[in-house]
Amino acid sequence: MASSANPTLPSAGTTVAKVTSRVALVGNPNTGKSTLFNALAGMNVRTGNYAGVTIEKKIGRCDLGGSDSSGDRRVIDLVDLPGTYSLAPRSPDELVAVEVLTGDVESESPIDVIVCVVNATVLQRNLFLVSQVLELGKPTIIALNMIDTADARGFVIDVDQLSKNLGVPVVCTSASRRTGIADLKSAIRGELEQADSESVQMSKRDRPLPSEFYEVCDELRSELVSRACTTESLSQRAAAESVLPDQYLIERMLLDRGGEAERRAVRSLGAAVLPAISAAREKLAEKVGDPIDMECSARYSWAARSLQDVVSTKLAKPRNATDWLDAVLTHRVVGLVCFFAMMFLIFQCIYSFSSYPMDAIEYGTGLVSDWVTAIVPPGMLRSLLVDGVIAGVGGVLIFLPQIALLFFFLALLEDCGYMARAAFLVDRVMTLFGLSGKSFLPMMSSFACAVPGVMATRVIENRRDRFATIMVAPLMSCSARLPVYLLLIGAFIPSASYVGGFMSTQALVLMAMYLVGVVVAIPVAWLLKRTLLRGEVAPFVLELPEYKVPSASVLFSRVWEASKAFVVRAGTMIFAASIVIWFAGFWPGDHSRQFEIERELERLESIQVAASESPASELAAEPEIVTESPELDEIAAKIETLEAEHRVLSASLLENSALGHIGHVIAPVVKPLGWDWRIGVGAVASFPAREVIIATLGTIYSLGGDVDEEDEGLMSALRASKWPDGRPVFTVPVALSIMVFFALCAQCVSTLLVIKRETNSWFWPVLSFSYMTVLAYFGAMLTYQVGTRFF
């Protein structure tokens, strides 16, 4: 058995918990595999990428209970593989799934047991994948999931007969209701114990395809070994066989013309293997006809034989809830109306439900700022902490509730089964512009973050469609853009309400900003598919899952991971950017007079507070206060004078700093957009990551003496910002111009690097950055120039 490192340390008086095995979870999409994975692993999950590729792996630690032959508790690593309808690797992530199952992934221990999750309501269709899994020859368990749904729809499944027909254990589960989990753990433990026994031989590969196919495969393998050998020595033949792909991948070479298995063989063995593969395909076609038709026919015939005397039906309701809902939600007209209404409701809820946690975060940020101000005297350190770190990072963290809500609603729509319906609805529209419904799910993922959205394009087999989707996915407004929208909408868009308070102007503008990227993506995709990526649209096949109650654990885990990633990002990149911006705005001016004013203001304010809180008799008893302090009205006048001088001095120091000089250089470029130099600096500084602009503006306006902690912080500073002639810098057209720029611009280094890795070329990320930046500039300019005609 393969052992994994990282054993957990024993505690006194308990058995040792040591990972001894790896179990893979594989299944079709929409079979409840992710819910089952969470039920087995709980919160003991870690994520990362497979070595050498940007394909995410999710591994959960699962305690099966009991103990192995050595007395240790049986603890396994549960590997969650990408959902797939087939083990025919036509995309990079499908190839990784096959390589994990066959043990061909470098630096990865082999899989000991495979758990194949199938949907009990569409059993024959799911057995297509089961037939391929059984061919691998590894210990396998069938998790018959959604058994409660099958029962409700009138299906009666003889589990014992199915297990007998398949020759592997079958366990009934309902992952959403957490039933059958203990039985599944027990079955896994039983398979591992059998594998531990020396008397158990290696599992025999199931062979559902015609015998002629396997004969041609064996001949192809021998041919590849012969081509790799120059002599007939046993040692050289053994070395040649060791570099060949697994037997299953050799079978896939024959069946999948141009697939990942064939490309991998060319990479590892050279282009000289292609003639041998072509000759083997011709021989196979002579014996069994078209290989694709042969495989489909053979596997479904095998599935039908496996289900003999297994499934029967009882009296059931003529239509279930899914049928009733789909009659409305997938209607070509009503369905689209429901879709847009649902999207608007999400944006309205983001505003309605997040105010209280936002106020709490803002209050906490203010407390931290006041505490630092109280213990750190005026000077460079206080300016760094208050004007740099707290004003920058704190200004971004306040938007965490809205981001958590956005991820919650996206996870809710996906887990309940609605996302597949949305893809079905928009397929007809997307086909007109050169894409298919398969592009919808990566694009929807990009509303949360473009990085997983770009990676999700791997499910698109057609290279041209995949690259076109990669090019437009970053146009979707990710969660990093949300703080920019919320700040400017909250500060400058009137909060008018309609329909009895149900609809608000602010929610409509927020939804409009999300639609900007979608609307622009349409002509961009159309242009790409008619120039660089010319070709026919690939057919779109989609299985609509049953509607189900979303799993609370799945929702919580996705929101938690997204929120944690945002906080970590604020604590690293934004923290570093805040310090850099603070230093550029602080240096090289002489701040001695500024700090002197701050110390004097604090002294006068403390006297003012003491005088207002103490009765006159107590003040009289302390002549030193009375004699040393002027009258209260004189103190107030002096405070007002010093504050005015402080604002002027702060603004002058900022404008003459390194940051100010950079801003004035780019000012002519951004002036057609309606921006001043401070907005321009914020936009330039945010090219590594969009949300940096909030931290940048918070730092700039704090250094400029514009942020009033007792008012609304950055929002009040933006409203008070003026041009030299006294006109306000920020107006509704300017706010819309900034939002459109951020909606269209490629301001995310992580996304550009992922595009490079996914396309294996620098051409595509450079193209993405270039065309999106140009679009953003002219889109912002058009918005401002047109907007000034109306506002």
Write out the two tokens for 601: 């203001």
Compute the average pLDDT of residues 338-348. Answer: 82
Stated as kind and residue range, the H or E segment containing 596 is helix 592-613
Task: Please name which of 376, 360, 369, 359 lies closest in space to residue 709, comparing C-alpha atoms.
Answer: 369
Cβ atoms 142, 170 nearer than 8 A: yes
User: 47 pairs with which residues across the strands?
Assistant: 58
Cα–Cα dist 7/77, whole Å: 11
∠ CA(784), CA(786), CA(787), 5° rounding? 60
pTM: 0.61
∠ CA(436), CA(442), CA(448), 5° rounding? 145
Task: Please name which of 557, 558, 416, 552 lies closest in space to residue 479, comparing C-alpha atoms.
Answer: 558
Write out the two tokens for 289: 């006809």
pLDDT band at residue 436 using 50, 70 and 90 as cut-offs = confident
pLDDT band at residue 472 using 50, 70 and 90 as cut-offs = very high
Q: How many CB atoms lie within 10 A of CB 605?
A: 12
Lowest-confidence pick of 98-112, 238-252, 474-488, 644-658:
238-252
Phi-psi region of 737 (alpha: psi -120 to 50; beta: other; left: phi over 0): alpha
Cα–Cα dist 336/492, whole Å: 31
Lowest-confidence pick of 137-146, 225-234, 498-507:
225-234
- What are the two backbone dihedrals, phi and then psi, of residue 748, each rounded to the nearest 5 degrees? -160, 105
pLDDT band at residue 211 using 50, 70 and 90 as cut-offs = confident
∠ CA(108), CA(112), CA(113), 5° rounding? 125
Please report the pLDDT score of residue 553 as a whole number.
78
Tell me which of 256 and 93 has the higher pLDDT: 256
Amino acid identity, position 234: L
Cβ atoms 72, 15 nearer than 8 A: yes
Stated as kind and residue range, the H or E segment containing 160 is helix 159-166
Helices (H) and strands (E) in the chain, counts: 37, 11
What sign has the CA pseudo-torsion 334, 340, 343, 345?
A: negative
Counting every residue written for the chain, the total comes to 791
- Is it the case that residue 545 has pLDDT exceeding 80? no
Stated as kind and residue range, the H or E segment containing 541 is none
Cβ atoms 577, 688 nearer than 8 A: yes
Cα–Cα dist 38/44, whole Å: 9
Cα–Cα dist 90/538, whole Å: 14
Cβ atoms 737, 674 nearer than 8 A: yes
Please report the pLDDT score of residue 168 as a whole number.
93
Tokens 């006159």 correspond to what residue?
A: 616
Tell me which of 685 and 338 has the higher pLDDT: 338
Please report the pLDDT score of residue 45 as a whole number.
62
β-pairing, 140-145 vs 311-313, is: unpaired
Cα–Cα dist 241/229, whole Å: 10
Write out the two tokens for 577: 């950017």
Tell me which of 347 and 360 has the higher pLDDT: 360
What is the separation of C-alpha 95 from the centre of its chain, rounded to a whole number of angstroms?
Answer: 21
Compute the average pLDDT of residues 61-69. Answer: 74
Cα–Cα dist 220/229, whole Å: 14
Cβ atoms 673, 683 nearer than 8 A: no
What 3-state class would DSSP assign to 73?
strand
Task: Please name which of 482, 488, 490 lies closest in space to residue 691, comparing C-alpha atoms.
Answer: 482
Tokens 């700093």 correspond to what residue?
A: 657
Q: What are the start-end ranges of the H helices in 207-333?
A: 211-228, 234-243, 247-255, 260-269, 274-288, 291-306, 321-329
Cβ atoms 524, 518 nearer than 8 A: no
Q: Give 312's DSSP letter.
A: E
Max avg pLDDT among 48-57, 242-251, 495-504? 242-251
User: 143 pairs with which residues across the strands?
Assistant: 117, 171
∠ CA(409), CA(58), CA(450), 5° rounding? 50
Please report the pLDDT score of residue 728 as a whole number.
92
- Is it the case that residue 698 has pLDDT exceeding 70? yes
Cβ atoms 148, 172 nearer than 8 A: no
Compute the average pLDDT of residues 300-323. Answer: 77
β-pairing, 17-27 vs 113-119, is: parallel
Lowest-confidence pick of 228-237, 334-343, 415-424:
228-237
Amino acid identity, position 183: D
Averaged pLDDT of the chain: 79
- In this predicted model, what pLDDT tens digit does every residue of 359-406 receive, in sequence order? 888 788 888 888 998 899 888 888 888 887 887 777 677 778 877 887
Please report the pLDDT score of residue 201 as a whole number.
44
- In this predicted model, what pLDDT tens digit does every residue of 595-628 receive, in sequence order? 898 888 888 888 877 777 665 545 454 444 444 4
- In angstroms, what CA-CA distances link 485 with 365, 716, 790? 21, 16, 21
What 3-state class would DSSP assign to 80?
strand
Cα–Cα dist 392/579, whole Å: 9
Please report the pLDDT score of residue 202 as a whole number.
44
What 3-state class would DSSP assign to 18?
strand
Please report the pLDDT score of residue 626 as a whole number.
44
- Is it the case that residue 179 has pLDDT exceeding 80? yes
Supply the DSSP string of 210-223, one letter for each residue: -HHHHHHHHHHHHH
Cβ atoms 180, 147 nearer than 8 A: yes
Cα–Cα dist 165/309, whole Å: 10
pLDDT band at residue 161 using 50, 70 and 90 as cut-offs = very high
- In angstroms, what CA-CA distances link 13 with 74, 100, 552? 17, 37, 35
- Is it the case that residue 791 has pLDDT exceeding 80? no
Please report the pLDDT score of residue 231 as a whole number.
46
Tokens 């050279």 correspond to what residue?
A: 270
* Those residues with Cβ within 8 angstroms of residue 134's Cβ, 6 or more apart along the chain or in another chain: 140, 166, 167, 168, 205, 206, 208
pLDDT band at residue 86 using 50, 70 and 90 as cut-offs = confident
pLDDT band at residue 43 using 50, 70 and 90 as cut-offs = low
* Those residues with Cβ within 8 angstroms of residue 606's Cβ, 6 or more apart along the chain or in another chain: none
Please report the pLDDT score of residue 313 as a whole number.
78
pLDDT above 90 covers what percent of the chain?
17
What sign has the CA pseudo-torsion 50, 570, 489, 507?
A: positive
- For residue 107, the number of C-alpha atoms closer than 13 Å in the C-beta half-sphere is 5
- In this predicted model, what pLDDT tens digit does every residue of 125-135 receive, in sequence order? 899 899 989 98
Cα–Cα dist 366/232, whole Å: 79
Please report the pLDDT score of residue 673 as a whole number.
94
Cα–Cα dist 181/197, whole Å: 25
Please report the pLDDT score of residue 713 as a whole number.
67
User: 60 pairs with which residues across the strands?
Assistant: 45, 78
- In this predicted model, what pLDDT tens digit does every residue of 704-759 receive, in sequence order? 666 554 445 678 888 888 888 889 999 999 999 999 999 999 888 778 877 887 78
User: 681 pairs with which residues across the strands?
Assistant: none
Lowest-confidence pick of 31-40, 143-152, 268-277:
268-277
pLDDT above 70 covers what percent of the chain?
82
